[in-house]
Chain A
Amino acid sequence: MPELMPAARLKREGLKGIHPVVLVPGIVTGGLELWEGKPCADGLFRKRLWGGGGFTQLLKRPLCWLEHLSLHNETGLDPPGIRVRPVPGLFGADYSAPGYFVWDVLVKNLAKIGYEGKNLHMAAYDWRLSFQNTEVRDRALSKLKSKIELMYRANGNKKVVVVPHSMGVAYFLHFLKWVETPPPMGGGGGQGWCAEHIKAIVNIGPSFLGVPKAVSNILSAEGKDVAYFRAMAPGVLDSGTLGLRALEHVMRVSRTWDSVVSLMPKGGETIWGNMDWSPEDEHVCDFSKKRYFRLSPSDNNVNNSNAKQVFRVKDPVKYGRIISFGKAASVLHSSQLPTAVLKEILHMNASRNFNSSCGEAWTEYDEMSRESIRKIGAVDKAYTATTLFDLLRFVAPKMMNRAEAHFSHGIADNLEDPKYNHYKYWSNPLEMKLPDAPNMEIYCSYGVGIPTERSYVYKLSPSNKCKHIPYQIDTSVDGEDGSCLKSGVYFADGDESVPVLSAGFMCAKGWKGRTRFNPSGINTYVREYQSKPPTSGIKSTTHVDIMGNIALIEDILRVAAGATGEEIGGDKIYSDMLRMSERINLRL
Chain B
Amino acid sequence: MSKPLSFYRSYFLSKTMFLRRRNGTDSSKTRVADPNIEKDGADNDDKKKDQYKMPQRRNYGSKKWSCWDNCCWFIGFICSIWWFCLFLYNTMPDSIPQFVTMAITGPLPDPPGVKLRKEGLTANHPVVLVPGVVTGGLELWEGRHCAEGLLGKRLWGGSFGEFYKRPLCWLEHISLDNDTGFDPPGIRVRPVTGLVAADYFATGYFVWAVVIANLAHIGYEEKSLYMAAYDWRLSFQNTEIRDQSLTRIKSNIELLVATHGGKKVVVLPHSMGVQYFLHFMKWVETPAPRGGGGGPDWCAKHIKAIMNIGAPFLGSPKSIALHFSIEVRDIAALRAQAPGLLDKDVLGLQTFKHLMRMFRTWDATFSMIPKGGETIWGGLDWSPETETVNNSAKKGTDNSTRNTGGNGNICDTKGVNYGRLISFSKDWAETHSSKIERVDFKHVAKGDKLTNSSNCDIWLEYHEMGNRAIKAVADHKVYTAGSILDLLHYVAPKLMARGASHFSYGIADDLDDPKYDQYKYWSNPLETKLPNAPDMEIYSLYGVGLPTERGYIYKVAPPSDCSIPFQIDTSVDGDSEDSCLKGGVFSGDGDETVPIISAGFMCAKGWRGKTRFNPSGIRTYNREYKHAPPANLLEGRGTQSGSHVDLLGNFALIEDVLRVAAGATGEDIGGDRVYSDIFKCGHFCRHFGMSVKFEKTGFEVLENVLVSILCVVLKKEHKEMTSH
Contact = CB atoms under 8 A, between A and B. Distances in A.
Interface of A: 1, 35-36, 42-43, 45-46, 83, 85-94, 104, 107-108, 111-112, 115-118, 138-139, 142-143, 146, 149-150, 153-154
Most central of B153, B191, B259 by chain A CB within 10 Å:
B259
B244 A118 contact: yes
Interface stretch (B246-254, B352-360, B544-552, B621-629): B246-254
Contacts, number: 98
A146 B137 CA distance: 24
B152 A150 contact: no
B222 A88 contact: yes
A1 B221 contact: no
Nearest to A40: B93
Nearest to B149: A1
Contacts of B159: 94
Contact of B223 (A45, A91, A138): A138
Given A118-B243, A143-B255, A154-B247, A107 B152 contact: yes
Contact of B139 (A1, A43, A91, A153): A91
B151 A138 contact: no
Contacts of B212: 46
Contacts of A86: 222
Interface of B is mostly: mixed
B154 interface: yes
Contact of A142 (B94, B192, B216, B258): B258
Contacts of A90: 152, 193
Contacts of B169: none
A276 to B, nearest CB: 50
B199 interface: yes
Given A118-B190, A150-B244, 10 more contacts: A89-B196, A93-B154, A93-B194, A111-B142, A116-B190, A138-B221, A143-B223, A143-B255, A146-B251, A146-B255
Contacts of B243: 117-118
A189 B622 CA distance: 43
Contacts of A36: 216-217
9 contacts: A42-B95, A46-B209, A46-B212, A94-B161, A108-B152, A118-B248, A143-B223, A146-B252, A150-B248
Given A46-B199, A89-B194, A107-B152, A153 B216 contact: no
A42 B259 contact: no
A88 B251 contact: no
Contacts of A93: 137, 154, 158, 192, 194, 196
A407 B94 CA distance: 41
A149 B222 contact: no
Contacts of B216: 35-36, 45-46, 83
B137 to A, nearest CB: 8
Contacts of B95: 42-43
Contacts of A149: 251
B244 A142 contact: no
A91 B221 contact: no
A138 B222 contact: yes
Contacts of A153: 247
Nearest to A111: B141
A155 to B, nearest CB: 8
Given A46-B199, A117-B191, A154-B247, A108 B151 contact: yes
B342 interface: no
B115 interface: no
B255 A142 contact: yes
Nearest to B191: A117
Contacts of B195: 46
Most central of A93, A112, A150 by chain B CB within 10 Å:
A93
Contacts of A94: 153-154, 158-159, 161, 196
Contacts of B141: 111, 115-117
A45 B213 contact: yes
B94 A43 contact: yes
Contacts of A87: 194
A485 to B, nearest CB: 44
Nearest to B215: A35
A92 B153 CA distance: 10
A78 to B, nearest CB: 10
B510 interface: no
Nearest to B250: A150
B509 interface: no
Given A111-B141, A146-B255, A117 B94 contact: no
